[in-house]
Structure 1
Amino acid sequence: MMWDGVREVACDESGSDGENLTDGNTDVFAHASVLLPAESAAGCVQEIRNRIRSPAEEYKAGHLLREKHRAVLEWVLSPAGPLYGHARVDLTDKAFFVVDRALDLLLGDAAGADALYGTGREAFGADGWRRFLRAANRLLRARSDAEPVDPVDAFFAHVEELRRVEVPEPAAAVLERLAGSRERAEAYRARVTAGPPLIPALNPLLPAILRTAALWSAPRTAVRLVHDRQNMLTPDRVDWLLRTARQRGVALDGVELVHSRLDLRVQLADFLAGVARKLASDELNGCGDPVLTALLRPYVGSSSVWGDAPSWARLGPLPDGRGRGTRAGSGARLPC
């Protein structure tokens, strides 16, 4: 296919814990993208350095998130800042992503993810909901740690535990369907035990990259992603990304892996990803900063995978379509 032009977009992520989505260090995964010429990115990074005045060789989002640099952070995100209109961030609520993927793999669709997630923590209690999320995570992850209980047995034991609780009909119907999906669960475990799949079910990076490519594509304009180096982005997986994007009508021209130190556009994406992950996590946990959240809103992609409607409403306009939850339902809260 011939394109009239190619947009080169720099990308980085924050909050990656591999397939460990329920017991990792973060509850939000963020994938940021920046469309700026290299010269403009260099000027932006230099201005940030001039304002922060840290001797660090490479700046990270943590520098901007320090309270003493609050004014710099507000400037970076503001309409007068260097990223406004040139950057976006795709957010993934990890707990919701686990529920979404479990229903998709075990039931053939994830239409009930909103209902189950929305009921979750309130109906089953924080501990009961957390145990279910952990069991679902263990069932779906490709690498299963040596534990005394089989992941299939553990998951369905938790499903039965939740079914004993009286919940609204949409969630009850989802649990009923899950209870009958043991055969599919055993077949899935047999496949991943025989050999790790090329595309892990629970790693949020690859679907986030596809959404990012779709976000920046335009008629007769392709997208080339310049991405910070990631062990997940092997040549085979990059080929899969290119094929899958084109199957979805997204003109992804290529994925180039670089080190953020060597491409200041990627360093800016790193800034935005780290900042967005922290601010989104704070909103998810009920302790967001209204000023910073308002500044972040224009950057948040509407295709983000988010399950908590109150916090999403503060992060950005509630989008239509699958993958958006209805109310608070995450597992254990993280400290702000």
Structure 2
Amino acid sequence: MACDESGSDGENLAGGNTEVFAHASVALPVDAAAECVGEIRRRIRSPAAEYKAGHLLREKHRAVLLWLLAEGGPIHGRAHVHLTEKAFLLVDRVVGLLSADPVDAAALYRQGPEVFGAAAWREFLVAANRLLRVRPGGAGDAGGEGFFAAVDTLVRAAAGTRAAWVAGRPAAYRARAEAYRTRVRAAPPLFPVLNPLFPAIRCTAAHWSADGRPVLLVHDQQNALTPGRIARIVQSARRDGIALGGLRLVDSRDDARVQIADFLAGVARRIASDELAGGGDPELAACLRPYVDARSVWGDARSWARLAPAAEIPGRSAEINSGV
């Protein structure tokens, strides 16, 4: 299965360039993928040496995009997309560290922006990102104090609300937060807690191996996928009953299958981002829907209903929070 991603900002979930991370995979033979890439080039007729999702997303090429995603199209039934709503993942991670109640993350995420206001909510997300994103040897930074100051501000501004109660609960766990930060400074984990790439790869492997057959993932070059991390991903997947035979990195320019995954990841991220922002395209959302993983990390009910209406709204799960 060939894989690629779109929207990667590493651990920067609150201040990056994108609101959504998409990880796509396709199960196509090399010759079929090459034929698909060739057909896309023939239909678009751009002189660009390398095509990206942006070519397909141009309005003048809408017919090509619909052809690619449509039922009966070249990747229908042979492709998969795992989506991550970055703000929700961030809230889930910080609540997971500081609260014992898994319901808190969804409650805080869904009520927070309206109850606290957009600006204060954004400050909270940025502070949460700083709390969890700890640099080795970074003693003396104010990430912990900044986060709890932001929490105090939210609680005072909306005292008596359910969201304020949920937001205020982590304030009782300052010692737990500092213990986490001290531990990470001294011994950084192999898998940073905020990077959505690693759990997405795990879900991708679980999807394609659901029938018990081992799968090999061929992934575009990605600096975060070091040999040590790849070995641990494969080892932990097998330990948990996911038949992941291996993970190999390739240059997308040399593998048409990865190019198709790159197209799908970029297109999916844009469609999902537009839905999240409230300006989605119903036709494109409907075309994307069959490809979306029901285990995607998503908290916004309205946009999820457009992207995957047959599934329940994803919430906190062991796969999301256990790490790799």
Distance (whole Å) between structure 1 residues aligned to residue 96 and residue 208 of structure 2: 27
Judged with a 3 Å threshold, the aligned counterparts in structure 2 of structure 1 residues 70 and 145 are, in CA distance, closer, same or farther, namely farther
TM-score (norm 1): 0.89
Amino acid at match of 1:289: D
For the 8 Å contact 2:137–2:186, the answer to whether it is kept is: no
Q: Which residue does 1:65 correspond to in 2?
A: 57
How much has 1:109 moved relative to structure 2? 5.6
Q: Determine if contact 1:28/1:91 at 8 Å carries over to the other structure.
A: yes
Q: Which residue of 2 aligns with 1:112?
A: 104
1:16 and 2:8 matched = yes
Question: Does the residue aligned with 2:193 lie in a helix, a strand or coil?
Answer: coil
Aligned to 1:328: none
Query: Which structure has more helix as a fraction of its residues?
Result: 2
63-72 or 268-277: which moved more?
Answer: 63-72
Q: Larger deviation: 137-146 or 243-252? A: 137-146
Q: CA 1:230–1:283 in 2, change beyond 3 Å: closer, same or farther?
A: same
Q: How far 1:246 moved relative to its partner?
A: 1.7
Contact 2:81–2:265 (8 Å) recurs in 1:
yes
Match of 2:286 among 284, 291, 294: 294
Q: 1:147 to 1:244 in 2, by over 3 A?
A: closer
Q: 2:315 aligned with 1:322, yes or no?
A: yes
Q: CA deviation at 1:17?
A: 0.5
Report the secondary structure of 1:231's partner residue. Answer: coil
Query: C-alpha deviations, 1:9-40, integer Å up to 9, x for none?
Result: 10000000011111111000000010011111
Change (3 A) 1:115 1:47: same
Q: In structure 2, do the counterparts of structure 1 residues 145 and 82 end up closer, same or farther at CA, with 3 Å as the change threshold?
A: farther
What per-residue deviation string (whole Å, max 9, x for no partner) do you get for residues 80-107 of structure 1?
A: 3211111010000000000011111222
Counterpart Cα distance in 1 of 2:147 and 2:316? 22
Partner of 1:311: 303
Unaligned stretches of 5+ residues in structure 1: 1-8, 325-336
1:63/1:144 CA distance change after superposition, 3 Å: farther
Structure 2 counterpart of 1:258: 250
Distance 1:27 1:262 in 2: 29
**In 2, Cα distance between equivalents of 1:300 and 1:321:** 12
Q: Distance in 2 between matches of 1:167 and 1:73?
A: 49
Shift in CA distance, 140/150, structure 1 to aligned 2, threshold 3 Å: same
Deviation at residue 321 of structure 1 after TM alignment: 5.7
Distance in 1 (alpha carbons) for counterparts of 2:86 and 2:111: 16
Provide the residue aligned with 1:197 in structure 2: 189
**1:184 and 2:176 are equivalent in the alignment:** yes
1:132 counterpart residue number: 124
Q: Residue in 1 aligned with 2:321?
A: none
TM-score normalized by the length of structure 2: 0.93
Output the aligned Cα RMSD. 1.9
Matched with 2:241 is: 249
- Between 245-254 and 95-104, report the one with greater CA deviation: 245-254
Q: CA deviation at 1:71?
A: 0.9
In the other structure, the counterpart of 2:225 is 233
CA contact (8 A) 2:87 2:125 kept: yes
1:48 is matched with: 40
Within the alignment, does 1:81 sit opposite 2:37 as a pair?
Answer: no
